[in-house]
Amino acid sequence: MTFHDRGSMSQAPSYAAGCMILSVRTGRFLFSLRPDDVDEPSTWSLWGGKAEPGEVDPQDTALREAIEETGVSLKGDLQHLRRKEMSRFFYDTFLLTVPDEFEPVKTNESAGHKWVPLDDLPSPLHWGVTDLLGDYTAVKIMTKAVERLSGRPCDFDDVYIP
């Protein structure tokens, strides 16, 4: 199933989406430290959130959320990493590549940020990131993107897999 397929979902989508943001120059990923007023506070996560009314494409949601949460006007191609189906909604994760690292604007959506290589992740990780890293196909897409785009080696065996 691709992220455009809705299967039997004929009503408005109930989904959320997010991005793993990759710097092409450094081969590092941007993580967000979740603030104290959300579920799973003080854990490192990707950039994302719930769809807003009228959004019908998880790609649009993922990019809007990344822009809102980083405070930076981001552009780039999104590559679908996976869809996680849960009891009441689904979550699509995308890989967003940007030319270089940038400094996110301070917003109430994040208590901090870090650019890190995929094989040296911050701790503690949000359960959703841990779950994503347990998906062999998603991690393989990310490691190959690091190697292809930045030239930085990223050995899959060195990546944290729960």
Please tell me the predicted confidence (pLDDT) of residue 47.
96
Please tell me the predicted confidence (pLDDT) of residue 161.
55
SS3 152: coil
Q: Indicate the length of the chain as a whole number.
A: 162
- Cα dist. 45→11, 49, 133 in Å? 29, 11, 12
CB under 8 A, 24+ apart: contacts of 148-152:
149/22, 149/24, 149/27, 149/97, 150/23, 150/24, 150/25, 150/26, 150/27, 151/27, 152/26, 152/27, 152/117
SS3 67: helix
Please give the model's pTM, rounded to 2 decimal places.
Answer: 0.88
Total Cβ atoms within 10 A of residue 78: 20
Please tell me the predicted confidence (pLDDT) of residue 159.
58
Q: Residue 2 pLDDT more than 80? A: no
Paired with 85 in beta bridges are 90
- Compute the average pLDDT of residues 131-143: 93
What would the pLDDT profile of 105-131 be if each residue is shown by its tens digit? 998 999 999 999 988 899 999 999 999
Please tell me the predicted confidence (pLDDT) of residue 1.
35
Q: Residue 160 pLDDT more than 70? A: no
Q: Residue 86 pLDDT more than 50? A: yes
